[in-house]
Amino acid sequence: MSAATDFDASAALLEQVRQALANGTPLRIQGSNSKAFLGRDSAGEILDTRSHRGIVSYDPTELVITARAGTPLSELHATLDAAGQMLPCEPPSFGDGATLGGMLASGLSGPRRPWAGAVRDYVLGTRLISGSGQLLRFGGEVMKNVAGYDLSRLMAGSYGCLGVITEVSLKVLPKPRQCLSLSLEMDRQKALTQLAEWGQQPLPISAACHDGERLHLRLEGGEGSVTAAHDRLGGDPLDSGYWSQLNEQQLAFFDPGLPLWRLSLPHNTALLGLPGTQLLDWGGAQRWLRCDAPAEHIRSAASAVGGHASCYSHGLLDSPFQPLAPTLLHYHQRLKAQLDPQGIFNPGRLYAEL
């Protein structure tokens, strides 16, 4: 994309928010709407961020990039790739037009998450329009600037309920020098046991997924360490495109069928006795489940081991995200009241109480 298509539409977005506040009109914040299937439906006038786009600054030597919320993720990736750099958290797009703002608002991370960190871990600063009609800035563009850092991180996974994200500064990293994908034949329990053991060793694993029959691994790092790990682990070659298909939910497992659940579990959790079929991602910390069992049964099983479960089949449940404990919900409501006192931003998208 050429610089001629870059555009700062913050003034227009701010005016739309102020008009909505004056009229008491709720706003439905969206970019390309690629994550619309996640969470609850939210009514309101559409506030489209896609006109507010473009990379504001990028210095590869500083490992920091700043871009407007409507910037397509594809543009961001292309710019970083040209400099031999990347977003280590591998955020999924779920569509060609996915935007930077949607990436942060959904807070979703890809296969590298357990080894490299989540989206929120790479957020250095944000600009956003608050529910009082102000354009605010939090954090900065250098890693040691921590002023307001936590509030910027709160935008990750907020699904637009706290404000309109207009700009994001992110830490980036160099791409690994060597990358190799392998597939090993072993059952799920053996894979979980083996991954727990490998996790205590200096192996350059950056992705691990068990599809029900085989364990798939990605090794990344220097040529020597990747080669040594390959010699030790063995396995058959695996097309590196597998990880993108997994991340974008394009594998056959994700074809329409039984309800799709995402289970987020503590590291080294044993297999859960749930019906249906499972795909173990993040070395077992994220598990995709195809199952038509009652939501209470699935969520109880996840909660019993310290995890939680979210339903990725849109419209199946009134509360797709696992309901919050009363104390936690109270703090969420207080935070919402502080940043969005009139409750106009994506009302009810996360929870009916918000």
pLDDT tens, position by position, 66-98 = 999 999 999 999 999 999 999 999 999 999 999
Q: What is the mean pLDDT of residues 345-353?
A: 97
Annotation: CATH topology of 6-174+335-339 = 3.30.465
| pLDDT attached to residue 147 | 46
CA atoms within 13 A on the CB side of 122: 25
| pLDDT attached to residue 144 | 45
Average pLDDT across the chain, whole number: 95
Q: d(Cα 81, Cα 299) in Å, to the nearest integer?
A: 39
Whether the predicted pLDDT of 312 surpasses 50: yes
- Total-model pTM: 0.95
Strand-pairing partners, residue 168, are 67, 126
| pLDDT attached to residue 194 | 97
The pLDDT tens digits of the residues spanning 127-166 come to 999 999 999 998 876 544 444 446 899 999 999 999 999 9
Whether the predicted pLDDT of 3 surpasses 70: no
Both structure tokens of 300: 């109880």
CA atoms within 13 A on the CB side of 251: 16
The pLDDT tens digits of the residues spanning 231-241 come to 999 999 999 99
Ranges of beta strands (E only) in the chain are 27-30, 45-48, 55-59, 64-68, 85-86, 123-129, 135-139, 164-171, 173-174, 178-185, 205-210, 214-221, 236-237, 260-264, 277-281, 286-290, 308-311
| Domain definitions of the chain by residue range | 6-174+335-339, 178-311
| pLDDT attached to residue 148 | 43
